[in-house]
Structure 1
Amino acid sequence: MPTILRAALTATLALTLALGALCAAITAHATGSWTRIQQNLAPQVRHASGLSLALTDMDAEIANILVFGNARDLVGDRAQAQKLYAQDRASVSTELQGATVSAGNDAAAQNALVGVLNGLGQYEELASRATSLNDQANAPAGHPAPAALTAYRQATDLMRDSLLPAADKLIDTNNTSFTATYDDERSLLSDLRWAALGLGLLTVGALVALQLLITRRFRRVINPALAAATLLCVTVIGTAVSMSGDEQHQLGIARHDAFDSVVALSAARAVGYDANADESRDLLDPERGGQYSDAFFGKSQQIARIDGSSLPTYSSDLDAARRAYLADHGDVRFGGYLGAEFRNITFSGERSAAERALAAWADYEHTDHTTREYLAAGRLDQAIHLNTSWAKGGSNHTFQQWDNAMRDDIAINDHAFSDAVASGRSELDSSLVLIISGTAVALALAAVGVRLRLREFR
């Protein structure tokens, strides 16, 4: 009998130890995943989105500087454009550094970064040449010097054909990596939960069997130490199963409820800045006006797609869709990035921010429509003033209102993402303490419970 008891105890202790190790491994793995998400994957997407936005605005500000020319009444606006261009350059540098650090050993992300770096210096050289040639020619507003326009065309073509596609590839690569990690982690947590449950039941079964063996051999109703060890193992199992389910839930909040909106809204901001640049390009280069107008409409559709719409009718069509939504929040007739956001509203304050963004985008489209009417009527000066005005009702002002609302919406989702990460990590910390301490005490109690019986054989 002592030999049987020792063998049974050894097997039970081994199962208990394996259960504790598996449950602890679940928490350690989940902690590592949260760390990677928080320190690598999410920052990679943010840096890539920030890089794309800064690049598009650089090109817009160069176009604005050339549009302003030597107009004295636009000196202040030109100075503002030059300031914004300098800020964009600094942002590009910052985002590139951040993206490089967070990319780590990700080969696809590194290749995309190389694509941006290879063209950035050439773009800045062409942009500088364009503004310098325009200043030397003392070109009037809306009538750039031919040589300056040629240099700008080369610069903006490089931006649209090389730099922005590389930045977009970086966003897609990083977001795909984040999604893959999310899917793998949720699947693994599910597998580990079932493994912990199976091993846990086997461990509890072994403890109960040991309890029954002692009860029958020693004619005792219950062994208190073994009973307590069994309850602790049940607690460890429950903790691991509950924790893994909660981690899956927090991952869902972090990735889909929060970060999906962050990605969509950040992409919308970058596309919006590029659309705003198309307006300036349209004023600067009438020969390419049709190309830039089509590009503007395409980007407007990316932000808030209205099926069956066209550039002349888009503003009124968007107004109709917005009125329908305000009458019934379930009636979302627009797609694109804003449509994706309105179908994923989850957090407090998110709907208000999204509605402000939609209203501001509608206002911006109104000013664009008016600008195009001025251009069609040959009123270039009025078109330039409206398109570049920061006064209330001006294109830059309405665009800024839209961008501010988008920033607020992103901040709400970003905060929710951080809360989900913090909640996930916090539960892991408390669960790990409970699993380790519960396993250790269960091991000790099981050993004590059997040893007390073994003493009877001395």
Structure 2
Amino acid sequence: MERRTAHSDRGGGPVSYPQPAGGTAPPPPTPDPPTGRREAVDRLRAVATTEPGRLRAIGALLALLLVAFGAVTAWQVADRASAADAVVGRSQPLSADAADAYRSLADADTTAASGFLAGSRESPAVRQRYEKDIALASGLLVKAAANAEDSDTARRQISRLNELLPRYTGLVESARANNRQGLPLGGAYLRTAGDLMRDDLLPAARELYEAETGRLGSDYADAKSWPWAALGLGLAALGALGWAQRRTYLRTNRVFNHGMLAATATAVVVLLWLVVGHALARSDLEGSSTEGARSLQVLTEARIGSLQARGDENLTLVARGAVLTENKDDAYEASYRDGMRKLVGEGGAAAAPGTLLARARDLADDSEGRDAVDAAVRGVREWQARHAEARAADDSGDYDRALPKVIGEKGSTGESFDRVDEQLRRALTHEQADFRAAADDGRGALAGLAAGAVVLAVLGAAGAVLGIGRRLSEYR
């Protein structure tokens, strides 16, 4: 091996370095790592190889898990509480408003036909009822438009209703004007108005109602969904606390560590509060949906069905056989019978199974609700009997005798219809109160849980850190 000679920096004699035989210089010595990085490496090595370091890592992990558990619990509970608030304060009232608009339009059509049949003897009350229905429907459409920004279907149907409603009212006024003059053209105008209501206005109102009911269902689903992320973190935190305490016991033979016991207790309290509170909220919301919202939907369908049947009954006398089905039957009479089948079915004192009023009775959860539905069923049966008498008179050619049986004050089908409508309104009011009470209970079950979870989780994290600190003090 050759040797290379160099002079010392201090001015001394030559210094020789061994050289490889091939004359290649040796690699330079590896420089020491920067001081900051070396200290970090030393700390990590201490954590991995010393008990104090491992204890610090365990304390940090426990604190992180507990704080994350509290934060996620607060977030998910607040999200569900917000959805429950929306059920009570937004989506259900909007669904009810859409149902009221739907019912008001159907009632306006029925009232317009009744007033037309009365002719010059139309009472101010009938006219006022029609105008009130139109004003109510218009006001509810304005309110719905202000809250329909997140629903394309709702906006589209509201626009359509706002476009068609003036056309409908114009046709009704033309019918009244011609009828007052005794012109047969009035009946044609009224039939056109009725067709516009049935073929365009009511379907649009129904789609609006279904859109708002769909939003209600979505809010219910959000409010009732289980907070799986929070539950998973809670179980993970409890598992980590149990492992840490078992590790301490195995190394020290000390059964209790007060700090970690306190952390475990807070985690258990939050987890139980979350499970029990959400279960109660879910149960109450489910009850408000089954016994309240669904019952309201069926009763709304029944009330609108009775209104449409009443309108068909009136138009039967207005049209006088001018509108026929493919089987050459009176179209309005056929529609009336179909509506009655959906409402209560054929014959019998009680409503037939599967009909609207039978379903409404099944959904009623107490005697007050069932009594109102039973009274409505009796009113419908009385209505059917009186309708048969009116049809018999009209079919025999005695129109003058048939007319008071339909629009008269006493003993008429109109009197029976009013009784049915009143009982259905009573049932709706009762079910609305039941819905609100159950939904409020559901919201109340989540009250304070979000804030309580954060506070308890922070206390638990502090307890875990103090418990680990107690063990660290033994190494000082």
- In structure 2, C-alpha distance between the alignment counterparts of 1:357 and 1:443, rounded to whole Å: 61
Secondary structure of the residue aligned to 1:334 is: coil
Alignment match, 1:296: 336
Aligned position for 2:28: none
The one-character-per-residue Cα deviations of 1:107-140 (angstroms, maximum 9, x if unpaired) are 11111111211111111111111111222x1x3x
C-alpha deviation, 1:221, in angstroms: 2.5
Q: d(CA) in 1 for partners of 2:109 and 2:372?
A: 28
| 1:241 Cα deviation after fit | 1.5
Alpha-carbon shift at residue 349 of structure 1 (Å):
1.7
Quote the offset at 1:155 in angstroms: 1.3
Give yes or no for contact 1:196–1:241 (8 Å, CA) kept in 2: no
Name the counterpart of 1:361.
380
| 1:227 aligns with one of 238, 261, 264 | 261
Find out whether 1:270 has 2:304 as its counterpart. Answer: yes
The secondary structure found in structure 2 opposite 1:277 is helix
Aligned to 2:89: 39
Spell out the pairing of 1:341-380 with structure 2 (5 A cutoff): 341-380=360-399
For 2:322 and 2:91, how far apart are their aligned partners in 1? Answer: 39
| TM-score calculated relative to the size of structure 1 | 0.86
* d(CA) in 2 for partners of 1:33, 1:268: 29
The answer for unaligned runs of 5 or more in structure 2 is 1-50, 324-329
**Cα displacement (A) at 1:220:** 2.7
Tell whether 2:148 aligns with 1:61.
Answer: no
Looking at CA atoms only, which structure, 1 or 2, has the larger radius of gyration? 2
Q: After superposition, where does 1:31-430 map in structure 2 within 5 Å?
A: 31-70=81-120, 75=121, 77-135=122-180, 137=181, 139=182, 145-183=183-221, 185-186=223-224, 188-189=225-226, 192-193=227-228, 195-288=229-322, 290-306=330-346, 317=347, 320-322=348-350, 333-391=352-410, 393-430=411-448
Aligned to 2:464: 446
Separation in structure 1 between the aligned mates of residue 264 and residue 354 of structure 2, nearest angstrom:
55
Q: Determine the C-alpha separation between the residues in 2 that align with 1:336 and 1:184.
A: 31
**How many matched pairs?**
420
- Which residue identity is paired with 1:414? Q
More helix by share: 1
Q: Deviations over 1:212-234 (max 9, x none)?
A: 33334444331122112101101
Contact 2:349/2:378 (8 A) holds in 1: no
How far is 1:49 from its partner?
1.3
Q: Which range moved further: 15-24 or 176-185?
A: 176-185
The secondary structure found in structure 2 opposite 1:255 is: helix
Distance across 2 between alignment mates of 1:110 and 1:342: 34
Q: Distance in 2 between matches of 1:157 and 1:275?
A: 14
Preserved CA contact (<8 Å) 1:225 1:446: yes
* Preserved CA contact (<8 Å) 2:84 2:219: no
Q: CA deviation at 1:343?
A: 2.5
Do 1:43 and 1:102's aligned partners in 2 also have CA atoms closer than 8 Å?
no
Provide Cα deviations, 1:298-347, integer angstroms capped at 9, x if missing partner: 111221234xxxxxxxxxx1xx252xxxxxxxxx6332211221232323
1:237 deviates by: 0.9
SS in 1 for 2:58: helix
Confirm or deny: 8 A CA contact 2:343 2:356 kept in the other structure: yes
Is the 1:57–1:85 contact (alpha carbons within 8 Å) kept by the matching residues of 2?
yes
Q: CA deviation at 1:348?
A: 4.8
Letter aligned with residue 166 of structure 1: A
Q: Per-residue CA shift, 1:8-64, capped at 9, x if unaligned?
A: 011011111121122222211111211222233212321221111111121222222
Paired with 1:274 and 1:184, the residues of 2 have a C-alpha distance of 35
> What do you get for the CA RMSD once the two structures are aligned?
2.0
Query: Could you tell me the percent identity over the aligned residues?
Result: 25
Partners of 1:370 and 1:98 lie apart in 2 by 43
In 2, Cα distance between equivalents of 1:164 and 1:197: 46
Q: Could you tell me whether the CA contact under 8 Å between 2:303 and 2:424 is conserved in 1?
A: yes
Instruction: Provide the rounded CA distance (Å) in 2 between the counterparts of 1:37 and 1:104.
Output: 17
Q: Please list every run of 5 or more consecutive structure 1 residues that lacks an aligned counterpart in the other structure.
A: 140-144, 307-316, 323-331
Give the superposition deviation at 1:260. 0.6
Match of 1:329 in 2: none
Aligned 8 A contact 2:191 2:315 in 1: no
